[in-house]
Amino acid sequence: MPSTSRLASEHVAASYPLVPLAWEVGFTRDPSVPPAELVPATVPGAVQLDWARAKGLPDYTVGDNFRQFRFAEDVYWVYRARLEVPRTGAGERVVFYCGGVDYRFRVLLDGELCHDQEGMFTPFEIDLTGRAKTGDELSIVIFPAPKATPSPEDRTQARLSNKPPVSYGWDWHPRLIPCGIWQETGIQVRPARHFRSVDFRYRLSDDLTTADLDVRIETSDPGAGAAGASYRLLDPEGNEVVSSERPEARLPGVRLWWPNGEGKPELYTLEVRLDGAVVHTRKVGFRRVRLVMHEGAWDEPARFPKSRSRPPVTLEVNGRTIFARGSNWVCPEIFPGIIDEGVYRPLLELARDAHFNLLRTWGGAIINKEVFYELCDKLGLMVWTEFHLACNLYEGEPSYLRVLQQEAESTIRRVRQHPSLALWCGGNELFNVWSGMTDQSLPLRLLNKLTYELDRDTPFIPTAPIDGMGHGDYRFRDEHGREPHQIFATASNTAYSEFGCPGPSDVEYLKTFIPEAELFPPREGTAWEAHHAFAAWSADPGSWLCQATLEHYFGPARTLEELVERGQLLQREGYKFIFEEARRQKPVCSMALNWCYNEPWPSAANNNLISWPRRPKPAYHAVKAACRPALASARAPKFGWKSGEEFRADLFVLNDAPEGVASGTVEARIVCAGRAVVLVSWRFPDLAPRRNEKGPTLSFVLPTFEGDTFRLELVVAGQEALDSSYTFACASVSEPRKAAPGERFLNG
């Protein structure tokens, strides 16, 4: 049988040309019986897409067409290809390399088993030298999707496997379980002694000016090891700064990698040579990341019995504490095999442009591909990387732990090379009542062990949320009538790692996937429900369209355009308030990450900022404004008002930047029906780096006016980049209360 091995690195795939194979794919319900039909397959890709393409099936993103693939999760899929074995020179090796198959599979060469694996995140290779010839058949047999329970609507079906659970159905993802060869795959010819991987490690001096390098190069010859291997390091301008044949070297005058908004994400080039030939290049960076206690954290708990304080979640990068502004990244496509740089890049550039510095890669989805981290390195986006566990009780049976260790080791060895990696996390919401796990659960103890052994200097937390963090709320108005303005202004969390405000997609976009007859009014049981506008979240059957909330403020919508405009208004104002409120709660709070950033297919309504595949919603632009490093800000006690009420708001200037903000004057004015009324003019002092300033509270009795909204505008003379604007709902009453003399202003 050909020799086979699992790989902990993708470096070898990028070091020698990879010749693709011509694959076909088909399915069978009995693995001992060949498929009745084979169709052309695109690799990397997904079997569902190949089958749909061959059979002319309708677009799975439209209506409820995704249901046509339900059969695909319960059959065996078989890939087949005829080998074209290239000619080789003396000692050269012919290798079949595969970056990943989703999920449980076997590989056969002319019917003989040569590889058996569970797990999609571990690459493997098969040495075909002298054992395969042109015309031989290579086949990959993929097992049905793993299921812990028989119910097809139960997301806990994934709890006994290491397959990402999101595809079993989520409030923003349909029940559509991908399957197939999802990473680059093909035939390689390698020299007799060839490069396999490089492990770039370093330790920074206490003053962060010098790096002690430890660069380990692995070859295919365990006897000779790294003899004949060398590396050199080029600075960001391409100048050689280190050249060594030994693993250890020292780099003085290090230029640090900084997150977006904190400095330049400086990247060096690592070049590996073997026997005189360049075999591998990659970008590397230098940074130190820690999770530290916030100011005053050791004062809590204040009373006996004194137990532990809340765990640290404040990010310290290169010795500087940073307020993390960002979002929760989910899979950008249902089928991971079609995700590439063209999918990742525009989404990540939008995140950078929104002033984000941290993305939490949510644990229910895939571990992202290498190009995702490469782009984050370049863009200065820190990545909170979660393992593939979410909202389930992963009991930790021996077979499960064996695969978890294999998958985690492969992930850690690959991702730890990237300066964008900020922290490891065991998975999403594992300590919640619906999951039932604790810090004594074996899977989490194993992940803690592996991250310590393989990447000790990167922080690890067992799950999110942990004590002190906030997850939720995900509605603009809860069952008690509370808005984000009440929920978050009265909270005191060390981090808001998830919070949501749902909103509908654009009208023209809705028309691309909801049949015309179902467009308006939205109804349950139609494509609106299939695309998450109704019954998406068990806590709120009206989610995520939340029509009752919209009607509470504005009454029934008369057109689809009116409905969408109102829903998007609430989403953008809710998100704007929460991001700014989290920043006002520094230093106890150190993080604001909304749920969620993107989506894998078109939703009619969702908490996302970007509609699939890369269409920013109005909420994106509002969040972008709220995440500016410095801005004038207002905290109002609510969104919905009535004429005759006394409108109040506290003024602030917020600054998260490493630079200070020069003093200036904030003019606050109310705009009703096109008429502006100046309320207060506040002269704020110079602000120190990463410090806020609280100003006066303004007051204004709302008049009766045409329209159902009004605006509060904050204008900073000569510093327009700090200007802000807020929209509120206002309902007229029959006899509005009149302002008493002098009541217009309060405290300034």
Same domain, 16 and 109: yes
Q: What is the pLDDT of residue 747?
A: 28
**In the prediction, which pLDDT does 306 show?**
73
What contacts 231, CB < 8 A, 6 or more positions away? Answer: 198, 215, 217, 242, 243, 244, 270, 271, 272, 273
String of b and e for 303-314 (b: at least 16 CB within 10 Å)?
A: eeeeeebbebbb
* Mean pLDDT value across residues 190-194: 91
Q: Is 430 in contact with 385 (CB distance < 8 Å)?
A: no
Mean pLDDT of 348-368: 98
Residue 16 token pair: 């020698």
Residue 635 belongs to domain with CATH number: 2.60.40.1930
Range of the domain at 675: 630-731
Number of CB atoms found within 10 A of residue 141's CB:
20
User: What is the tally of structural domains in the chain?
Assistant: 4
Q: Taking 80 as the threshold, does the pLDDT of residue 726 lie above it?
A: yes
Closest C-alpha among 389, 388, 261, 408 to residue 336: 388
And the tokens for 534? 């109704």
Query: How are beta strands 24-28 and 76-82 bridged, if at all?
Result: antiparallel
CA distance 193 to 174: 47
* Within-domain flag for 552: no
Kindly report the backbone phi and psi dihedral angles of residue 537, in degrees, each rounded to the nearest multiple of 5, phi listed first: -130, 125
Distance CA 503, CA 213 (A): 49
Task: Provide the residue count of the chain.
Answer: 748
Under the banding of pLDDT at 50, 70 and 90, the label for residue 740 is very low
The predicted pLDDT at position 406 comes to: 98
Answer yes or no: do 240 and 383 share one domain.
Answer: no
| The pLDDT of residue 10 is above 90 | no
pLDDT in tens, 619-667: 999 999 999 999 999 999 999 999 999 999 999 999 999 999 999 999 9
pLDDT given for residue 1 in this prediction: 58
Asked if residue 490 belongs to a domain, the reply is: yes
Prior bond to 596 cis, omega within 30? yes
The per-residue pLDDT of the chain, averaged, comes to: 94
d(CA 423, CA 445): 16
Q: List b or e across 539-549, with b for residues whose CB sees 16 or more CB atoms inside 10 angstroms.
A: ebebbbbbbeb
The mean per-residue pLDDT over the stretch 321-345 comes to 98
Q: What is the CATH number of the domain that holds 597?
A: 3.20.20.80
Within a domain: residue 549? no
**Which helix (H) or strand (E) is 243 found in, with range?**
strand 240-244
Which residues does residue 167 pair with via DSSP β-bridges, in sequence order? none
Q: What pLDDT score does 322 carry? A: 97
CA distances from 544 to 438, 512, 524, 528, 661 (A): 31, 19, 12, 10, 39
Residue 731: half-sphere exposure toward Cβ, Cα within 13 Å: 9
Query: Using CA atoms, how far apart are residues 641 and 256, in angstroms rounded to an integer?
Result: 49
Q: Are residues 38 and 178 in the same domain?
A: yes
Shared domain check, 224 and 127: no
State the residue for tokens 């200037």.
653
In this structure, the number of other CB atoms found within 10 A of the CB of residue 648 comes to: 15
Flag whether 547 is in a domain.
Answer: no
Contact 354, 624 (CB under 8 A): yes
Considering the domain architecture, whether residues 135 and 242 belong to the same structural domain is answered as no
What is the residue-wise DSSP string for 706-741?
Answer: SSSEEEEEEEETT-GGG-EEEEEEEE--SSPPPPPT
Q: Which pLDDT band holds residue 8 (cuts at 50, 70, 90)?
A: low
Instruction: Please state which of the ranges 147-161, 331-345, 377-391, 589-603 shows the lowest mean pLDDT.
Output: 147-161
Tell me, yes or no, whether 27 and 151 share the same domain.
yes
Tens of pLDDT, residue by residue over 646-657, are: 999 999 999 999
Percent of the chain past pLDDT 90, that is, above it, reads 89
CATH number for the domain spanning 181: value is: 2.60.120.260
Is it the case that residue 704 has pLDDT exceeding 50?
A: yes
Using the predicted structure, report yes or no on whether residue 304 has a pLDDT greater than 90. Answer: no
Based on the domain organization, do 100 and 221 belong to the same domain? Answer: no
150 and 213 share a domain? Answer: no
> Tens digits of per-residue pLDDT, 603-620?
999 999 999 999 999 999
Confidence of residue 91 (pLDDT cuts 50, 70, 90): confident
Q: Does any domain span residue 470?
A: yes
Backbone angles phi, psi at 525, to 5 degrees: 80, 5
Q: What is the pLDDT of residues 465-497, one digit of tens each?
A: 999 999 999 999 999 999 999 999 999 999 999
Residues 493 and 611 in one domain: yes
Answer yes or no: is pLDDT of 301 > 90.
no
Residues 6+ apart with CB under 8 A from 269: 233, 234, 238, 281, 282, 283, 284
**397-434 tens-digit pLDDT:** 999 999 999 999 999 999 999 999 999 999 999 999 98
Confidence at residue 744, expressed as pLDDT on a 0 to 100 scale: 36
For residue 156, give the 3-state DSSP assignment: helix
Please give the DSSP secondary-structure letter assigned to residue 607. S
Q: By C-alpha distance, which of 734, 567, 167, 157 is closest to 392?
A: 157
Same domain, 159 and 237: no
Structural tokens at position 528: 């609106």
pLDDT for 542 equals 84
Lowest mean pLDDT, pick from 2-11, 512-521, 616-625? 2-11
What angle do helix axes 442-454 and 398-415 make, rounded to 10 degrees?
30
**Domain final position from 245, 269, 287:** 287
Percent of the chain with pLDDT over 70: 96
In a shared domain, residues 49 and 25: yes
Residue 59: the pLDDT is 97
Strands 693-701, 675-684: pairing kind: unpaired
Closest CA to 290 of 419, 466, 457, 413: 457
Q: Residue 346 domain-assigned? A: yes
Q: Is 516's pLDDT higher than 60?
A: yes
Point out the domain boundary residue: 162, 190, 218.
190
Name 259's bridge partners. Answer: none
Task: Provide the pairing of β-strand 104-109 with 421-425.
Answer: unpaired
Would 226 be classed as within a structural domain? Answer: yes
Domain harbouring 237, CATH code: 2.60.40.10
Tens of pLDDT along 208-238? 999 999 999 999 988 777 888 999 999 999 9
Within a domain: residue 541? Answer: no
**Based on the domain organization, do 41 and 172 belong to the same domain?**
yes
Q: Which of 626, 641, 673 is the last residue of a domain?
A: 626
pLDDT for 742 beyond 60: no
Nearest to 488 by CA among 506, 475, 507: 475
The answer to whether residue 733 scores a pLDDT higher than 90 is no
